[in-house]
């Protein structure tokens, strides 16, 4: 398996529904268990061997840049000479990640952000996810599913109340990508995408381009969008209530913490036929 595949993370949104936290930092830097949500997402991918990250910055992107610029020393034992400022590092405890940080604009939508980092994607396929969703998705199984189905794009469908947009499906093939409906539905777009690099040719760098609208809808209409059904843990962090819930889950064992223990909450996956999942409309991620 090619673990050189990069992971694009959308981390530029305003986080307006989490204003109590995001007045001073971008939503992906809001902490759970004293670590940013962004770190939790990256730890999951790194657990499966994917350690190259491309982070799409926007709102308060400098906070994310500062975090990574300082992370080496924050996770090292070192000696500093207070007169000269010379630093001698002794033991490093940090992560072995390659992180590309890209300013994709303050008001840019998700599709435009992805287009603006295309020049840094140097493999035939890549991962993409939102900077506010935590899950115990088996990334290797997701990648194998994508490869087996031979589509241009694969999203991860997760169960959630019907307050988002709709997917119409035939087996694992997404046939339509629609606005939200009020009827009861059971599946939403949880992020954790796999794309072929050719998908980038369908995008423009326009700040108004929403990934979840024309690009993915067109892929669905062309029969080029599949859904990997995830039955394990998934939770986005859009509100203070959801942050508190994640904090409580962290204290009680963190069902998404695949990098540290065997998950007892279950992370089953399979193809489901005849369902109509719902699709998450993300906010300027």
d(CA 128, CA 117): 11
Q: What is the pLDDT of residues 9-36, one digit of tens each?
A: 999 887 666 666 667 788 999 999 989 9
Beta bridge partners of 125: 196
**CATH pick for 7-76+91-279 out of 3.90.550.10, 3.40.50.360, 3.40.605.10, 2.40.50.140:** 3.90.550.10
d(CA 184, CA 156): 19
b/e for 23-53, b at 16 or more Cβ within 10 A? eebbbbbbbbeeebbbbbbbbbbbbbebbbb
Q: What is the pLDDT of residues 63-88, one digit of tens each?
A: 999 999 888 777 788 899 999 989 88
Record the pTM: 0.81
Beta carbons of 130 and 28 less than 8 angstroms apart = no
- Check pLDDT > 50 for residue 114: yes
pLDDT tier at 275 (50, 70, 90 boundaries)?
very low
Beta carbons of 6 and 194 less than 8 angstroms apart = no
- Check pLDDT > 80 for residue 117: yes
**Is residue 2 classed exposed, middle or buried when 0-12, 13-18 and 19+ CB atoms within 10 A define those classes?**
exposed
Q: What is the pLDDT of residues 218-253, one digit of tens each?
A: 999 999 999 999 999 999 888 888 899 999 999 999
pLDDT tier at 276 (50, 70, 90 boundaries)?
very low
């Amino acid at each position: 398996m090619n673990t050189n595949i990069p992971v694009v993370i959308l981390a530029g949104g305003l986080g307006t529904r989490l204003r109590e936290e995001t007045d001073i930092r971008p939503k992906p830097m809001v902490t759970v268990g004293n670590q940013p949500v962004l770190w939790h997402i990256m730890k999951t991918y790194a657990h499966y061997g994917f350690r190259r990250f491309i982070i799409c910055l926007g709102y308060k992107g400098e906070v994310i840049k500062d975090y990574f610029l300082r992370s080496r020393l924050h996770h090292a034992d070192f000696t500093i000479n207070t007169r000269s400022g010379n630093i001698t590092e002794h033991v490093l405890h940090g992560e072995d990640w390659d992180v590309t940080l890209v300013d994709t604009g303050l008001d840019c939508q998700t599709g435009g952000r992805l287009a603006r980092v295309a020049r840094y994607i140097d493999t035939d396929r890549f991962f993409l996810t939102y900077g506010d969703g935590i899950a115990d998705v088996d990334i290797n199984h997701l990648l194998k599913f994508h490869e087996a189905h031979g589509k241009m794009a694969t999203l991860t469908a997760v169960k959630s109340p019907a307050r988002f947009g709709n997917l119409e499906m035939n087996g694992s093939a997404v046939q339509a990508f629609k606005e939200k409906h009020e009827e009861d539905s059971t599946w939403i777009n949880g992020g954790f995408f796999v794309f072929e690099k050719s998908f980038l040719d369908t995008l423009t760098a326009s700040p108004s381009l929403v990934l979840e609208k024309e690009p993915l809808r067109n892929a669905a209409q062309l029969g080029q969008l599949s859904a990997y059904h995830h039955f394990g843990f998934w939770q986005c962090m859009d509100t203070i209530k959801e942050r508190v819930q994640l904090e409580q889950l962290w204290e009680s064992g963190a069902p998404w913490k695949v990098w540290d223990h065997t998950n007892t909450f279950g992370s089953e996956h399979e193809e489901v036929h005849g369902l109509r999942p719902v699709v998450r409309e993300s906010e300027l991620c």
